[in-house]
Amino acid sequence: MVQAGENLQVRLGLSRTPHVTYRMADPGTVLTEPGTLAAFGFGTGSPDSDDPRWLRVALESFDAPAPIELWQVDATVVCGQQEAVRWSSGGGWLFAAVEVNEHEAGGIESAARQAYAALCQFMGTRDERCVLRIWNYIANINDGDDDAERYKQFCDGRAAGLGDFFANGFPAATAIGHHDRQHVLQIYLLASADAGQAVENPRQVSAWRYPRQYGRTSPGFARAMLMPARDALAISGTAAVVGHASAHEGDLEAQLNETLTNLEALLATADMPAGFDTHSPLKAYVRHPTDAYRVREILQQRLPGVPVLLMHGDVCRRELLVEIDGWRYS
């Protein structure tokens, strides 16, 4: 039987958002399941695979063993590699990933420029033109001071590589640091043949309007992206930023509370139901491993039953101790 919702989506030609879940499994198993668009392992201990849909993210998880993250669509998936870009597509959805070794590129700024230029060039060959969501994982993101901080160099290179690619609006994004000794910049995205709707947080200054004190090049990202079929909200990396300022310096619990308030503001702005549920996977990036237990405890209490993957990750502002991103399905 065809449900009303599916029927509507068929009529409008908008495909249902990929189903994102965490699961204890091997890449070999999940990659043979029909409809697997992408699968992610976390940490240097996670398995490797040559399949273009598999990405081993350099961030370590505090969950041991860590589950795999799975993106699944209701369609046949094809995949391949085109120069530096690994990709897969199905049902109007596109996954694309690029990894650039900083050493070979000549530093973080040129790695970011090369990576984004490669992604833009690849996107020009595709029908799935609408980039809805991007993830950026960067080694030692806070090394260097002021304008020389690596995150700021990354922002410069990203903007240079993109040119005017996002002139019509930025996708939702995450940019998080890790401590892998190999400095490989990892970037991956989800795109669609159909446009989504960017969502800003009324409690926050839009990132592309951040004042000069946060860097020469404002980060280009939307706070969240409503998916084309309006069946899910992709939530950008969200931290204790109010206005443009970092709030509650040095206070983990207050930062986490402020972050949760920001997440609720995004849901309300997007007309999504309040709160998170058992189908809405989140990630919490925690700067100090010694804070992981406390973050888990608070999130279990505040978001009962919600799948939260706890990651060791550095937020791009040194004073921020925790950041959350993820999905809210309606």
Question: Mind telling me the catalytic residues?
Answer: 323
Residue 236 Cβ, how far from ligand 3EB at the closest point, in Å? 5
Site string for ligand 3EB, 223-262 (x = CB under 6 A): -------------xx-x-x---------------------
* Nearest one of 322, 328, 321, 239 to 282, comparing CA atoms: 328
Asked if 175 is part of the footprint of ligand 3EB (rule: CB under 6 A), the reply reads: yes
Interface with ligand 3EB in residues 106-165 (CB under 6 A): 136
Tell me which stretch binds ligand 3EB (CB under 6 A): 41-49, 83-91, 169-177, 183-191. 169-177
35/169 with CB nearer ligand 3EB: 169
119/173 with CB nearer ligand 3EB: 173
What ranges make up the beta strands (E) of the chain?
Answer: 19-23, 36-42, 54-57, 60-61, 68-72, 78-82, 85-90, 93-101, 130-139, 172-178, 184-192, 197-199, 224-226, 232-238, 241-242, 245-246, 282-286, 308-312, 322-329
- Determine the Cα–Cα distance for residues 75 and 73; give it in Å rounded to an integer: 6
**How many residues bind ligand 3EB, per CB under 6 A?**
12
Residue 158 Cβ, how far from ligand 3EB at the closest point, in Å? 8
Out of 59, 207, 233, 286, which residue is the one contacting ligand 3EB (CB under 6 A)? Answer: 207
- Determine the Cα–Cα distance for residues 51 and 290; give it in Å rounded to an integer: 35
Q: Please, is 298 exposed, middle or buried when counting C-beta atoms within 10 Å of its C-beta (0-12, 13-18, 19+)? A: middle
Cα first-last separation, the chain: 21
Residues that bind ligand 3EB (CB under 6 A): 136, 173-175, 207, 219, 221, 236-237, 239, 241, 316
